[in-house]
């Protein structure tokens, strides 16, 4: 038997590609380049999940397509291999994280190779390799030299269970993103990177990038630039123990134009003046309140829907615009960490302030004329200033300008910009991360000389975090205690390590010249390959990884290390693959009922249905051949649900080509979609059909139908329709529709008696980026000695799409008796066409059976003769 046998074909070609180094990146810089990048995986113990091959197949198709279009292609892969799981496993089992990582990497590599991805395996990078992290440390030193890395005693997010500090971004609702453990604030000495210095450039750079709109928006929101004013309010009563400086409370506002409506002030409960200004009578109440506020997360505190709480300080401030005394309150809806930690409250225009003012009976003044139909509370829309003295009548923007000049003239404040972005907390109390290239001499940090990099991780076997927050590395005394090579003084090494983000901030640069010894990247190679032309990966990384990588890239640009200012020109997120759809029907007293009917019934029985039992009516899922609506849902794949699909199983059953093709056929790349094993079967059968189109099942040789004959007009038209569609679709990353087009081609080709070699060659080229193994095999059967991977992509020729003739089916009494070809220019000439039809031998025979009583002619469609 010589039927389609992916197992045999696929391992054969995988070996071929590896031995011949088919996908080695060209060294020359003579052709146009294309750099197509995957987000490199964290090599977890559980191996690939189905989400990996989704993005990786997409980039692989593009890489292969570009090679066939005569680009030099850089398509690399590597391992983001530092991180918590390997370390936690080490704590549990004593296995060194290095060993776990190596084992997992080997497994991942094997799995990726089994999918036939066209990576240049000579450019593999691994963030845990000292030859790699040497340069991560080198980049850190650059940051340090530029004053962008500093030590600070900061209130950090301390997670006792994980034994580490977490970045704000890694804390969700007061719990660790990994594991969901409680996180508390605690002051600790940490390394911090001054990403805030790059806030504006990180914002501006977004404009030139071809990224999903939502991802850019997330970056913009994360940076959170607000333009407004800082305004100083003077504390009114005379507090003898307040210094001049302390008696000015500075607020940040985006609406300085509303200052005439500032009827009270609010300080964050943690504000540094909170104690000082509180009057003795209010002391106790304020203390109680502050204690309560400390226990809430920022999110809880600022939730719009939340009941506002607060406490009066007893003190007053003077509104610089009105000269009036306004009470100073403390409330937890104002955060200490944003702006100045204090606000002027304008209940007339701010809803939170409105709710607070109502609750505590504070006065409300509107300073913007609401539109006529307005019925709400605080008015945040456009309108002319009212109750605002010299601002009256001005629109918001004009009023802002005017009040800012006034504030500046009178030294009450100035224009100000605020960012939500905070400096990046860059140290972790972990073993399995990059050591900092820093020693401490006489208590002061000192960079390790670049010639002495890398600072390697010392050997140790007790990876347990300490509950004081001291990093595990602190236990390795003979590593920690060292001497300063410059002065000979005793020194201690930094025992924190870098966060996992560090290695992934610049890996895309290392791929350009993985063995370069003069720096993180060879300038010549960076100049040629960068920026990345297409970057595909999950949306879950959109804010952090992308922001951090862009930050480092810009710093390296400023240091003269890079010529490009942005790393990733085009970015696409693959949509999540959910588990198989689950269908639930409902029974009441033993009879099916519709999903809409269950609301008012008790004891309804839920019945799981399998796919064969399910039908569709419009958008509704129903029990097949009935009107009973059912529920259809797809959940995230998870171990606990037991709906995880293992790519290895699919490859074992159907082969890598089917796996690749299926994941691309599921739907648009960027959309969320449920897995469906039946459909894998469908694409597998499609590949079987391609095989049988060309191969004799008995001999395993090419069929006689594959000939040297010139293709017919119809064959050329069918082929070129397919070339046009597949080419355009790959350019648009619309892989599912490209596959449909190839299925249409095969359906048509199945009906041809002869298949011209040239047509089949072109078709194989189109299919090869998607299903490379079967295409290599058939390409070879056609007599080619070289891989299909560099054969030129078929050129689309418009001329073949033009209809040169039209085929009329000719019916006699409703039955088709012939098909006649009519040249396009005569096709609408009724008399001409009918005469031609009557000349056909077969038609003539049926016409001779009786008398022709009627001729029906539908131009360009059909002819029918009625005979009696
Ligand atoms: C007066 C005002 C009037 C305000 C008005 C808004 C509307 P974004 O856009 O997020 O920058 N604010 C300032 N610091 C704050 C803090 N630490 N905690 C909570 N809220 C704070 O928002 C800036 C606005 O949020 C500022 O402008 C301030 O309220 C408030 F009709 O000042 B506004």
- Averaged over 717-746, what is the pLDDT? 98
Is 313 found in the same domain as 412? yes
Structure confidence at residue 240 (pLDDT): 64
Is 479 found in the same domain as 346? no
pLDDT category of residue 745 using cuts at 50, 70 and 90: very high
Nearest CA to ligand 1 atom 31: 349
Q: Each residue of 625-661: pLDDT tens digit?
A: 999 999 999 999 998 999 999 999 999 999 999 999 9
**pLDDT for 399 beyond 90:** yes
- Averaged over 756-769, what is the pLDDT? 98
Q: Is 126 in the pocket of ligand 1 (CB under 6 A)?
A: no
For the chain, the domain total comes to 4
- Averaged over 390-412, what is the pLDDT? 97
> Do the domain assignments include residue 389?
yes
Q: Is 399 in the pocket of ligand 1 (CB under 6 A)?
A: no
196 alpha carbon to ligand 1 midpoint, in Å? Answer: 20
Pairing verdict, β 577-578 and 673-674: parallel
> Do the domain assignments include residue 798?
no
- Nearest Cα neighbor of 329 from 341, 340, 314, 318 is 314
Percent of the chain's residues with pLDDT above 70: 99
Q: Each residue of 658-673: pLDDT tens digit?
A: 999 999 999 999 999 9
Q: Each residue of 825-851: pLDDT tens digit?
A: 788 899 999 999 999 999 999 999 889
Domain boundary among 446, 473, 502: 502
Helix intervals (H) in 22-69: 51-68
Q: How far apart are alpha carbons 131 and 232 in whole angstroms?
A: 53
**pLDDT for 800 beyond 70:** yes
Nearest CA to ligand 1 atom 25: 253
Is 354 found in the same domain as 305? yes
> Do the domain assignments include residue 706?
no
For the chain, the first-to-last Cα distance in angstroms comes to: 54
Structure confidence at residue 805 (pLDDT): 80
- Nearest Cα neighbor of 170 from 186, 183, 153, 152 is 183
Q: What is the DSSP letter of 282?
A: G
> Do the domain assignments include residue 252?
yes
Q: Each residue of 128-175: pLDDT tens digit?
A: 999 999 999 999 999 999 999 999 998 778 888 888 778 777 888 778
Structure confidence at residue 287 (pLDDT): 94
Structure confidence at residue 80 (pLDDT): 96
* Three-state DSSP class for residue 22: coil
Q: Which domain holds residue 846?
A: 803-867
Domain boundary among 563, 598, 633: 633
Q: What is the dihedral of CA 95, 99, 100, 102, to 10 degrees?
A: 180
Is 381 found in the same domain as 399? yes
Is 429 found in the same domain as 465? yes
Q: Is 252 in the pocket of ligand 1 (CB under 6 A)?
A: yes
> Do the domain assignments include residue 794?
no
Q: Each residue of 352-373: pLDDT tens digit?
A: 999 999 999 999 999 999 999 9
- Averaged over 449-473, what is the pLDDT? 88
Q: Each residue of 478-534: pLDDT tens digit?
A: 999 999 999 999 999 999 999 999 999 999 999 999 999 999 999 999 999 999 999
- Nearest Cα neighbor of 202 from 507, 533, 673, 550 is 550
Tokens of 374: 């307005």
SS3 assignment for 580-614? CCEEEEEEECCEEECHHHHHHCCCCEEEEECHHHE
pLDDT category of residue 1 using cuts at 50, 70 and 90: low
Nearest CA to ligand 1 atom 18: 334
> Do the domain assignments include residue 385?
yes
pLDDT category of residue 188 using cuts at 50, 70 and 90: confident
CA distances from 229 to 247, 342, 729, 818 (A): 19, 13, 50, 84
Q: Which range is least confidently modeled, 272-281, 408-417, 445-454?
A: 272-281
> Do the domain assignments include residue 567?
no
Q: Each residue of 318-327: pLDDT tens digit?
A: 999 999 999 9
Mean of per-residue pLDDT scores for the chain: 94
| Most informative mutation of 252, 263, 297, 331 for ligand 1 (most atoms within 8 A of CB) | 252
Q: How far apart are alpha carbons 273 and 498 in whole angstroms?
A: 35
> Do the domain assignments include residue 13?
no
88 alpha carbon to ligand 1 midpoint, in Å? Answer: 42
Is 172 found in the same domain as 88? yes
How much is the pTM? 0.87
- Averaged over 298-310, what is the pLDDT? 78
Nearest atom in ligand 1 to 348's CA: 31
Nearest CA to ligand 1 atom 26: 253
645/464: higher pLDDT: 645
CATH number at residue 837: 3.10.20.590
Q: Is 254 in the pocket of ligand 1 (CB under 6 A)?
A: yes
pLDDT category of residue 239 using cuts at 50, 70 and 90: low
């Amino acid at each position: 038997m010589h039927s389609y046998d992916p197992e045999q074909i696929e391992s054969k070609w995988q070996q071929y590609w590896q031995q011949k180094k088919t996908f080695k990146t060209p060294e020359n810089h003579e052709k146009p380049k294309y750099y197509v990048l995957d987000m490199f995986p964290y090599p977890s113990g559980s191996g690939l999940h189905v989400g990996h091959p989704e993005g990786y197949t997409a980039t692989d198709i593009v890489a292969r397509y570009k090679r066939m279009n005569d680009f030099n292609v850089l398509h690399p892969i590597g391992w983001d291999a530092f991180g918590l799981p390997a370390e936690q496993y080490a704590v549990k089992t004593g296995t060194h994280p290095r060993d776990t990582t190596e084992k997992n990497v080997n497994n991942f590599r094997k799995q990726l190779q089994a999918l036939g991805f066209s990576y240049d395996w000579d450019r593999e990078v691994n963030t845990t390799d000292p030859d790699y992290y040497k340069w991560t440390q080198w980049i850190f030193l650059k940051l340090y030299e530029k004053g962008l890395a500093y030590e600070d005693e900061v209130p950090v997010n301390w997670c006792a269970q994980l034994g580490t500090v977490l970045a704000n971004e890694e804390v969700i609702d007061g719990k660790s993103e990994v594991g969901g453990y409680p996180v508390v604030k605690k002051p600790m000495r940490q390394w911090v990177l001054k990403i805030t210095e790059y806030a504006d450039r990180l914002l501006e750079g977004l404009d030139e990038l071809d990224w999903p709109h939502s991802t850019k928006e997330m970056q913009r929101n994360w940076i959170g630039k607000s333009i407004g004013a800082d305004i100083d309010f003077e504390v009114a009563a005379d507090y003898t123990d307040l210094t001049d400086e302390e008696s000015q409370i500075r607020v940040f506002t985006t609406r300085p134009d509303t200052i005439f409506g500032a009827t009270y002030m609010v300080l964050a409960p943690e504000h540094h003046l909170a104690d000082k200004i509180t009057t003795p009578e209010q002391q106790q109440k304020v203390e109680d309140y502050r204690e309560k506020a400390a226990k809430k997360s920022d999110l809880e505190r600022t939730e719009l829907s939340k009941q506002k709480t607060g406490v009066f300080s007893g003190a007053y401030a003077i509104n610089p615009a009105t000269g009036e005394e306004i009470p100073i309150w403390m409330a937890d809806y104002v955060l200490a960490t944003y702006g100045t930690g204090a606000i002027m409250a304008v209940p007339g225009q701010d809803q939170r302030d409105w709710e607070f003012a109502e609750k505590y009976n504070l006065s409300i003044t509107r300073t913007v004329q609401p539109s006529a139909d307005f019925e709400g509370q605080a008015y945040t829309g456009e309108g002319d200033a009212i109750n605002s003295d010299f601002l009256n009548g001005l629109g918001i923007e004009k009023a802002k300008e005017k009040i800012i000049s006034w504030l500046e003239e009178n030294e009450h404040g100035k224009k100000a910009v605020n960012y939500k972005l905070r400096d990046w907390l860059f140290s972790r109390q972990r073993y399995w991360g990059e050591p900092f290239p820093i020693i401490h001499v006489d208590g002061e940090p000192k960079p390790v000389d670049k010639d002495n990099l890398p600072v390697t991780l010392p050997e140790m076997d007790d990876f347990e975090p300490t509950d004081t927050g001291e990093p595990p590395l602190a236990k390795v005394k003979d590593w920690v205690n060292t001497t300063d090579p410059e002065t000979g003084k005793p020194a201690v090494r930094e025992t924190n390590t870098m966060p996992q983000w560090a290695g992934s901030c610049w890996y895309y640069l290392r791929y350009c010249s993985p063995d370069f010894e003069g720096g993180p990247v060879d300038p010549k190679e960076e100049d040629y390959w960068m920026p990345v032309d297409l970057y595909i990966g999950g949306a879950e990384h959109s804010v952090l990884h992308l922001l951090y990588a862009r930050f480092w890239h810009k710093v390296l640009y400023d240091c003269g290390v890079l010529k490009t200012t942005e790393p990733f020109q085009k970015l696409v997120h693959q949509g999540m693959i959910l588990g198989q759809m689950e269908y639930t029907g409902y029974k009441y007293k033993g009879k099916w009922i519709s999903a809409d009917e269950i609301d008012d019934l008790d004891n309804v029985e839920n019945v799981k249905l399998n796919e064969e039992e399910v039908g569709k009516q419009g958008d509704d899922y129903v029990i097949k051949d009935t009107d009973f609506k059912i529920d259809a849902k797809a959940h995230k794949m998870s171990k606990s649900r037991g709906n995880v699909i293992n790519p290895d199983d699919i490859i074992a059953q159907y082969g890598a080509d089917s796996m690749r093709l299926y994941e691309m056929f599921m739907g648009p790349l960027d959309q969320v979609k449920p897995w469906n094993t039946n459909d894998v079967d469908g694409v597998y059968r499609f590949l079987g059909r391609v095989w049988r189109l060309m191969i004799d099942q008995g001999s395993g040789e090419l069929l006689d139908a594959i000939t040297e004959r010139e293709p017919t007009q119809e064959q050329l038209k069918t082929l070129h329709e397919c070339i046009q569609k597949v080419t355009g679709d790959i350019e648009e990353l619309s892989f599912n529709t490209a596959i449909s087009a190839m299925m249409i081609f095969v359906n048509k080709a199945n009906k041809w008696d002869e298949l011209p070699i040239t047509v089949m060659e072109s078709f194989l080229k189109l299919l090869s980026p998607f299903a490379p193994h079967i295409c290599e095999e058939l390409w070879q059967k056609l007599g080619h000695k070289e891989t299909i991977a560099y054969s030129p992509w078929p050129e689309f020729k418009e001329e073949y799409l033009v209809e040169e003739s039209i085929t009329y089916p000719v019916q006699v009494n409703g039955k088709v008796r012939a098909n006649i070809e009519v040249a396009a220019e005569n096709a609408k000439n009724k008399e001409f066409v009918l005469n031609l039809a009557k000349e056909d031998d077969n038609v003539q025979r049926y016409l001779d059976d009786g008398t022709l009583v009627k001729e029906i002619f539908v131009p360009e469609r059909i002819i029918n003769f009625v005979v009696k």
